[in-house]
Structure 1
Amino acid sequence: MTSHVEPDTSQLLAQLATLSTEAYRPELSKIDELPTLDIARLMNAEDATVTQAVLSQLPDIAAAVDGTAERMNRGGRLVYAGAGTAGRLGVLDASECPPTFNTDPSQVVGLIAGGPSAMVTAVEGAEDSPALARQDLDDLRLNEHDVVVGISASGRTPYAIEAVRHARARGALTVGLSCNAGSALAAAADHGIEVVVGPEVLTGSTRLKAGTAQKLVLNMISTITMIKLGKTYGNLMVDLRASNEKLRARSHRIVALATSAPDTAVDTALAENDGEVKNAILSLLASVDAETAERLLEDAHGHLRRALEAAATSTSALPSQQGTVAP
């Protein structure tokens, strides 16, 4: 095993001094003496600047999303890799994809330095280990169809940087998401996204503005990718997994919104299509049975609009069978 050489304290201090996310704000040196409402107002005003920082990176975010959707359309996976707060945000985004978009848990994966226990407890030295990043990716049998997003507020976390480097060497598409300009992480990736949010209210506490910025970008990467993969119909989550009563009620509402069908028809369509929202909508709008809806969706690779177009083409001689206009 290759030994890991720790940088000396002076070197680390020098590095931190160059990072905007670590900068000290002397004007806030008495924040602990302010009334609670004033501190809340101050934090709220700081948070309001994050969306503008994200705005400046939209072209780079869009390019990364297009690349991600193209790889995933070929059967690839989206893998997030980070340490600490950044890693937790990646795991959070990945864990929300199955219930929201009915993805297989293996399609969107969140890796955090130190493993699952690092979600709640700091694992000493994990973020500084390039070898750990390589091992975590090798365990996934990474290939050229996959996408790896390294996440690090500072842009210098060894685990995230090595994840991107290792993934790129394996032919995977890579994205480096950081909150400092000119970061090593962005430089190592095919697509560098640097959302520069500036110094935090609490010096170096990058779970604040930097964390918010990273969450916003990850929301975009996963959500827009899923839209492009046909996981939505308009702005409706037609591929959600109804695993509880709330989601079953939401499934009913989505089918009703998409079709304007009465409740009884919605219930029947969902029952006949085993609770699959997308299939139920297609059955109602195209006036087809569950078996036909399933076949049309398979032929359309899960894209509801394409399936509806195919159904309309095959029944063009019978316009009365067409459903309501798509949203």
Structure 2
Amino acid sequence: MVIAIGFEGSANKLGIGIIQDGVVLSNPRHTYITPPGEGFLPKDTAKHHRKYALEILQKALDEANIKPDQIDVVCYTKGPGMGAPLVSTALVARTVAQLWGKPIVAVNHCIGHIEMGRLITGAVNPTVLYVSGGNTQVIAYSQRRYRIFGETIDIAVGNCLDRFARVLKLSNDPSPGYNIEQLAKKGSKFLELPYAVKGMDVSFSGLLSYIEEKATKLIESGEYSREDLCFSLQETVFAMLIEITERAMAHCGSQEVLIVGGVGCNKHLQEMMGKMAEERGATLYATDERFCIDNGAMIAQAGYEMFKAGAVTPLEETTCTQRFRTDEVEVTWRS
């Protein structure tokens, strides 16, 4: 029996989760929400994480009904992510590991998402579409690595949606992407946008510049509504993502597709991916916002798998890095 606690703070969500042998015991989180039209700065996000760290830690222990001496391993997000929030959260993890006398494991954020998705959905060896505010990758497991088959060559899809939400001055509560999704449901008039798939990679920055530039004029003239623009943006970026995911599935001969990351809880993306999977005779696996959006349990789960396979991070190596590739990690826990 192994009990792992995971600390996640790579962006604007601070999450601390506890996992016991693949069972989520607790998974509280607190989100730093900025005013409409504004993004979040690293220093302010780090301040938020420092403010709520002990409160969320206590909540995680209380909900799991676990005492520190029962925990076997402390896991934290090493990267990728925003520097200041990563460091603030790692500092808390390092401190409790030393106070409690526990081993510590540094976890790749992206692999946390994948392992959580596999645990919750039961997907065995899926092609993974990882979509969030900071990352967009199509991934498949091969020879002890999570291989990246395609990715964004500029900004992540979540960042593209968030930045358009700022143009429309949409609320950041609960998230800009969620509010775009709700508006898109009411849109019907499609605006053709630049569709940029380059081999196995995608590009969102040109498309974003194009719609940002035209948005105000189109809305003021009454030609398109805000709902229509959200609808058009979603349809275009999701079609691009599904195209590269399908190509990766064909290459790998895969019959499972798993969507992870914050954008992964978008119901329309799940529907579109579901149709593609159905046409291929494949199965779609997706989770809801409890496990899609950054959370501590996903870091605990990946750390638990690593720890069981014999991985422990020496204290002097418990650093953070803003750039930490998914395929840099040797996957010792999968055969």
TM-score, normalising length: structure 2: 0.32
The structure showing larger relative contact order (alpha-carbon pairs under 8 Å, at least 6 residues apart) is 2
Larger helix fraction of residues: 1
Bigger CA radius of gyration: 1
